[in-house]
Chain A
Amino acid sequence: MNIGQDIIGATTDIFSTMLMMDLGVGDPLEGAGGEVLSNITSMLGLGGDIRGMLAVHCPAAVAMAITSGFLGMDVDELNEDVKDAIGEIANMVAGNLKVAFAGYDMKIELAIPSSVVGESFRVAGMQGARRVAVPFDMEGGQFLVELKYIVNS
């Protein structure tokens, strides 16, 4: 089971396929660390054989660059399109992880993503969860894809 590599495979595939963008990939982090200054976080809950949360944390410049790439137009504020676009990234990463978990003989279900926008916030919760986070570099800065989960017994 290599969740870090699964996150890398899913995320780089989404960016190369839909944005024609090659990402710089950092080392997967287990446990604490690797937080980025996030202005927008999109997350969705995972259920089934695990319970958890998949989150994509982006600084404003990165989130706007991703949205511009998706829509083919300039985006210069953290508007609904940006929240929606980063939510779709989270949704697609989670969809790919669902397939990866199926390969580990675990069936997971996905919730609908939601996004939070702000200046300085921290997403906490899920005591005792395993945390795997991967930083990615692109034009405009770095973003983080983070998975926290507990395997249901």
Chain B
Amino acid sequence: MGHNVLLVDDSSTMRKIVGRSLRQAGLDFDNIFEAADGLLALEVLEKESVDIVLSDINMPNMDGIAFLREKANRANMKDIPVFMISTETGEDIIGEAKALGAKGAIKKPFTPDMVNEILGPFLK
């Protein structure tokens, strides 16, 4: 059975690239939802059944850290796993993301193999 994934990035190009990388990595998703910032991601999570979230950090309106903080406060979505996918890979910011519940991080630039290495075990 496949999964539903939510891609959160203010760059529509990057959302397409990540979606393509997921397919090239052979990861099986029934639906790929997209959101351009944290606020829109919360709206998707309120409406759709999502198994995993891949989120950028630097975004307008609501960034990835604020998104994690807000999501953690909502009982209906707090347990949905989030992986950060970002150029921001400093220990301080990734540490903050993990403290707010992020399961891991994928550094941009990335290959489909790198995506599979991090997400694959989690989706098995």
Contact = CB atoms under 8 A, between A and B. Distances in A.
A110 B88 CA distance: 9
Interface residues of B, number: 20
A95 B86 contact: yes
B62 to A, nearest CB: 13
Interface stretch (B27-35, B43-51, B107-115): B107-115
Interface of A: 13-14, 17-18, 67, 70-72, 80-81, 84-85, 87-88, 91-92, 94-96, 98-99, 102, 110, 112
Name the prevailing secondary structure of the B interface residues.
loop
Contacts of B20: 71-72
A95 B13 contact: no
B110 A18 contact: yes
Nearest to B111: A17
B17 A70 contact: yes
A95 B108 contact: yes
- What are the 8 A-B residue pairs with the smallest beta carbon separation, nearest first? A95-B87, A17-B109, A84-B13, A18-B109, A85-B13, A14-B109, A84-B11, A88-B11
A70 B87 contact: no
**Max chain A C-beta neighbours (<10 A), residue from B12, B58, B60:** B58
Contacts of B14: 84, 88
A71 B16 contact: yes
B66 interface: no
Nearest to A85: B13
B89 interface: yes
Contact of B58 (A91, A96, A99): A91
**Max chain B C-beta neighbours (<10 A), residue from A13, A87, A95:** A95
6 contacts: A17-B110, A71-B13, A71-B20, A88-B17, A98-B87, A98-B90
B59 interface: yes
Interface string B70-93: 000000000000000011111000
Contacts of A87: 11
Contact of A84 (B12, B60, B88, B109): B12
